[in-house]
Amino acid sequence: MLEQAEVTGRPATGIGFGFGERGHLALRTILPLHEQGTQLGYLLVGEDMGHLLGHLDDLFQLHHLLLIERPYLERHAIDLGEVADETAFPRHRLTARSAKSIPAPLRQRIVTGELAGLERGELLSDNGNRYFVGAIPLRDPAGELLGRIVTLRDISAAHQAFGETLILINGLTAVLVILLLGFLYHITTRAERRMETAYHELETSHHQLERAKREWSDAFDAIAEPIFLHDHKFRIVRANRAYAELAGEPFQALIGRPYWEAFPRGDGPLPGCGSAIRDIELYTAREEQQEHFTTADGRHFTSRSFYTRHTDGSFRYSVHILSDQTELEQLAENLRHEVRARRIISGSNQALIHAENEPQLLQRICDLIADEAELPLAWIGYREDDPERTLRVVASAGIEEVDTELLGLTWADTEQGQNPAARAIRSGELLLVRDIERDTTCEACQALARKIGYRSVLVFPLEARGRTFGALALAGIEADTFSEEEITLLHELADDLAFGVVALRSNAEREQAEARQLELLQQLETSLNKTVEAMAIAVEARDPYTAGHQRHVAELATAIAGEMNLTEAQREAVRIAATIHDVGKIYVPAEILSKPGRLSEMEFSLIKSHPQVGYDILKEIDFPWPVAEMVYQHHERLDGSGYPRGLKDGEILLEARIIAVADVVEAMVAHRPYRPSRSIEEALAELAEGSGSRYDPEVVDVCTRLFRDKGFELTTN
pLDDT at position 613 over 50: yes
Task: For the chain, give every residue range classified as CATH 1.10.3210.10.
Answer: 543-708
Q: Name the more confident of 531 and 379.
A: 379
The CATH architecture annotation of domain 329-524 reads 2-Layer Sandwich (3.30)
Lowest-confidence pick of 399-408, 453-462, 565-574: 399-408
Q: For residues 290 and 520, what is the distance between their CA atoms, to the nearest angstrom?
A: 40
Mean pLDDT of the chain: 78
Q: What is the pLDDT of residues 648-670, one digit of tens each?
A: 988 999 999 999 999 999 988 88
Q: For residues 207 and 201, what is the distance between their CA atoms, to the nearest angstrom?
A: 10
User: What is the four-CA torsion angle of 616, 619, 620, 625, rounded to 10 degrees?
Assistant: 160
Task: For the chain, give every residue range classified as CATH 3.30.450.40.
Answer: 329-524
Average pLDDT of the segment spanning 470-477: 90
Q: Name the more confident of 622 and 283.
A: 622
Beta bridge partners of 325: none
Task: For the chain, give every residue range classified as CATH 3.30.450.20.
Answer: 223-322
Q: What is the pLDDT of residues 41-67, one digit of tens each?
A: 666 666 677 777 776 676 666 777 888
User: Considering the domain 223-322 in this protein, what is its CATH number?
Assistant: 3.30.450.20
Predicted pLDDT at 716: 57
Q: Name the more confident of 374 and 302.
A: 302
Residues 6+ apart with CB under 8 A from 99: 63, 64, 65, 152
* pTM (two decimals): 0.47
Q: What is the pLDDT of residues 67-86, one digit of tens each?
A: 888 888 778 777 766 555 55
Predicted pLDDT at 648: 92
Per CATH, the homologous superfamily of domain 543-708 is Hypothetical protein af1432 (1.10.3210.10)
How far from the centroid of its chain's Cα atoms is residue 278's Cα? Answer: 20
Q: Name the more confident of 448 and 433.
A: 433
- Going by C-alpha positions, the residue among 314, 345, 52, 56 that lies closest to residue 175 is 56
Peptide bond between residue 644 and the one before it cis (omega within 30 degrees of 0): yes
Q: Name the more confident of 558 and 671.
A: 558
Predicted pLDDT at 518: 64
Average pLDDT of the segment spanning 590-599: 71
Q: How many CA atoms lie within 13 A of 644 on its CB side?
A: 18
Q: Reduce the DSSP state of residue 338 to 3 states and report it.
A: helix
Q: For residues 73 and 148, what is the distance between their CA atoms, to the nearest angstrom?
A: 13
Q: Could you tell me the CA-to-CA distances from 219 to 154, 215, 228, 299, 543 in Å, in that order? A: 76, 6, 14, 27, 17
pLDDT at position 595 over 90: no
Predicted pLDDT at 14: 44
What sign for the dihedral angle of Cα 288, 291, 292, 295?
A: negative
Res. 180 pLDDT band, cuts 50 70 90: low
Q: Name the more confident of 689 and 494.
A: 689
Q: Could you tell me the CA-to-CA distances from 617 to 453, 468, 579, 584 in Å, in that order? A: 27, 42, 14, 8
